[in-house]
Structure 1
């Protein structure tokens, strides 16, 4: 995680160039916070810190999309994506969200932290080859390396082994790190991936407490060279269980809620 910091400043002419690279309008507030417009929704970012358990410091942030309608009614992410009329619109909307997150994150922080960013499963299904190329082009436009971005693959993709292999291979070939989600229904997928195992495996805190063989699970993940990120930590007991289990990274509302700001924490 020791990556040189890259703080970007977007001049007005650069912002116009960036705007031309997106399919929907962007807006910059007085504090330089970026939002985007998709029909009647105003989309912006919220970031939640991710903490390294050994160093006890923030090493990156997970990005979440937030929105308001023209009536200032907050919409959930699934409500936002439900407004996409077809797959082409959904792909463009998903790319818009990632562009907003990248602009807000790398324009606001000079730390060497990583941006953890999710991808909609329908985008992964509809883009047949070169996953990550369009986002890499956008990152190049704003002067950010792909190595500063961790792509979070949605858990439903675990069911489709060939697609999962192709997605991991495509993103990794472009320099991104990969985070995949553990689920009981796909408990053997990591060993089946062979050399294409993800860099990080995300385990929900609830699953960690209710898994019958936590030690074996953690050992298997570490054996394949992946780190463990326990997320959705809501209580002290879940935090304690994550530390005891050997989690490498921690994330959740108990530590810090997602916010329209980029801040660091040290749980101890």
Structure 2
């Protein structure tokens, strides 16, 4: 189905659901955007690559682009739309759920023109969305996926975990299991500071398909056990037959660190630069990275 037709379908659906003139999806220059009150959200799709064969793309991670929602003069007033979705008009939780669903639908629609049956799309879900939806997690979005001609196994639901949510891990696990039952793949994402015992236990209990670690600020960490901890993480992930991903790789040193720490997959701006054919980060550069940050 053409993108414009899908955009109109989802606009019609939301208009009927909210019983209001609520048509947030727009198509501009072959890209889909979503209007959420004063902002316009779009998609940046970043390839996820095999660490030992960076030309091999296994999927894409979706990230939000945000700009101001400029409404042309003469366009219908947005009072009805704003009353539906702006946080100060409805509950904070409902606003988060609405925004989360809208952004994921935008990403899915933008992914369609380049989708392949053997690839996946990684979509972040806000923990507050999981906590705010009481049951049937993923049911609403499953209809979007099927309408777009894909399957839930083409989508990895990514949850960024930090210590602030430690006391509600059990509730998060229940929501994540609902996604898994519907066929979604599951990814847990951490930053280095969040790699604590409770995080390791969560990985065991959730049994995700992927475990991601952000490489941001790794070069600033002064920890003589950095490499050892990263290797322990990748070993743990291997033990549950999942795949480890190093996200946000910005330079050669960090790319090399991902290789010697045995991360299966990588993502980041470094790999999108213009490099010589078959170029890949050397193992030596990873050792240099360890010496630099230790």
TM-score range, shorter chain: 0.7 to 0.9
CA displacement 1:99-143 (0-9 Å, x = unmatched):
000001013444632111101121111112111111111112222
Which structure has the larger Rg?
A: 2
Matched, 1:187 2:196: yes
> TM (normalized to structure 2)?
0.73
Contact 1:51 1:266 in 2 (8 A): no
Q: 1:133 to 1:96 in 2, by over 3 A?
A: same
Contact 1:119 1:152 in 2 (8 A): yes
Number of equivalent positions: 243
Structure-1 separation of matches of 2:195 and 2:251: 26
Gaps of 5+ in 2: 15-21, 72-85, 281-294
CA displacement 1:216-266 (0-9 Å, x = unmatched):
232122112221000111221110010111111101122238xxxxxxx97
Given candidates 182, 199, 209, the residue that maps to 1:199 is: 209
| Partner SS, residue 28 of structure 1 | strand
Offset of 1:27 from its aligned partner? Answer: 0.8
> TM (normalized to structure 1)?
0.80
CA RMSD of aligned residues (A): 2.8
Structure-1 separation of matches of 2:279 and 2:121: 20
Match of 2:83 in 1: none
Q: 1:24 to 1:11 in 2, by over 3 A?
A: closer
Q: 1:207 to 1:33 in 2, by over 3 A?
A: same
CA displacement 1:178-207 (0-9 Å, x = unmatched):
110235445333345546311111112245
Structure-1 separation of matches of 2:63 and 2:230: 28
Offset of 1:69 from its aligned partner? Answer: 0.9
Contact 1:201 1:229 in 2 (8 A): yes
Structure-2 separation of matches of 1:267 and 1:94: 37
Given candidates 143, 154, 178, the residue that maps to 1:148 is: 154
Match of 2:58 in 1: 59
Structure-2 separation of matches of 1:185 and 1:11: 42
Gaps of 5+ in 1: 1-7, 73-82, 258-264
Structure (1 or 2) with the greater helix fraction: 2
